[in-house]
Structure formats: C-alpha cells, structure tokens
A = this chain, B = another copy of it.
Amino acid sequence: MTTQELSNGNCPDILERNISAQSGVVWFFGMPGSGKSTMASSLREALTKHGNWVSFLDGDQVRKRLNRDLGFSEADRTENLRRAAEIARLMAMAGSLVIVSFITPLESNRQMVREILEDHNYCECFVKCSLGTCEMRDPKGLYAKARKGEIANMTGIDAPFEVSETSEIIVDTENQPQPDCMAHLLRSLEEKGLISIG
C-alpha cells in the first residue's frame, strides 16, 4: 500500500460513509492463516450494513455441504473451485455482489476461475502473507497437525501454493494492520467500479 492510497482516508472514516455495491465477484485467495476469511467477513459486514445484497462463499462451508463428495486430491480441489466459480456466477447474474474466500493455490486454478467469471465484474484479491507468519498464526491448528504428519495435502507444507504478483488487488496482512488493509481494499474496489463510496 502506498502513502497516496492511505491518504485517501482511513478505514473507520470510510465505513461511516454510504457504500453501495454493484453485482460482481470479489475472490479472496491466499494460504490458510493469511487472513482471507477475516478480510472477506469485514467486507461483507461493511456492505450489508448499507443494505447491499451480498452473498458469501467460504471454502470450509462449501466443502461441508455442497461439495461434501470431494476430497483434497488435485483433481478434487480443481472441481471444488470450478463449482464455487459457477455458483458465484449464478449469484452475480442474479444481481448480488459475491464475496468468495478459497485458498485457490495454483495460478491454473485462478485462470480457470477467471475464465468462468470474467464477464461478471470479476476481481481477484490476493491476501498476501508469508508461510512463516501463517504458520505462527495457525488459527485452526492445521499447520501443527501437518508438521506432525497428522494431515496430508496441507497447502504450504506438502501441497503447493503459488504466490501471485498479478492480482488486481493485493492486501498485505503481514505488513499492514487490518484497518489499513480494509481501507486499501475498499478504495481498490471503488476504483474498479464494484462499489461506490458516498
């Protein structure tokens, strides 16, 4: 985040103003513990409190029900993401701003998602954080379990995560406090025409 972006207003100020959303899809991705669910939840809260129609798709939640037939092989992970993108597309077509939070580890995954959603106000947001910090945070204890060999296919440990340099929005949760990340996100979404800040 640059000084110029920060000078556009800090987050508490922005959140007091009226925010209206267009239909579209904001796709958060990043490693477990990067803070993507926190970012997604904060965005959802900021938009719903102004009466916007916001839908929410979270990886864990979708796996528990809709995609309960899928495992964690690379093929199943791809299918998990394909279905999530198709559902986001249906929701955006109905007029909703859809907030998605999935690890989406590979550039090829992101490319597939983009192809499904590119005609629907699609915006990719990389939630950037080093493996060291994600592992230190370890909010669900998954890294610890993976290091002990109790779970397999853990992103960052024994499954790959490809860092992005090209996403439309990058929020750096390692080096910026949460309110600054949120201000940057909201200003970036405004620049892309997905939201208007009154």
Interface residues of A (CB under 8 A from B): 53-57, 62, 65-66, 69, 79, 83, 86-87, 89-91, 94-96
Contacts and interface: CB of A to CB of B under 8 A. Distances in A.
A55 B94 contact: yes
Nearest to A66: B86
Contacts of A57: 90
Nearest to A82: B66
What's the number of copies of this chain in the assembled complex?
2
Contacts of A62: 90
A57 B54 CA distance: 18
A66 B90 contact: yes
A55 B69 CA distance: 25
Nearest to A62: B90
Nearest to A51: B95
8 contacts: A56-B94, A65-B86, A66-B86, A69-B79, A87-B90, A91-B91, A91-B96, A96-B96
Given A79-B69, A91-B91, A53 B86 contact: no
Given A55-B90, A83-B83, 12 more contacts: A53-B95, A54-B94, A54-B95, A55-B94, A55-B96, A56-B94, A66-B83, A66-B87, A69-B79, A87-B87, A91-B96, A94-B96
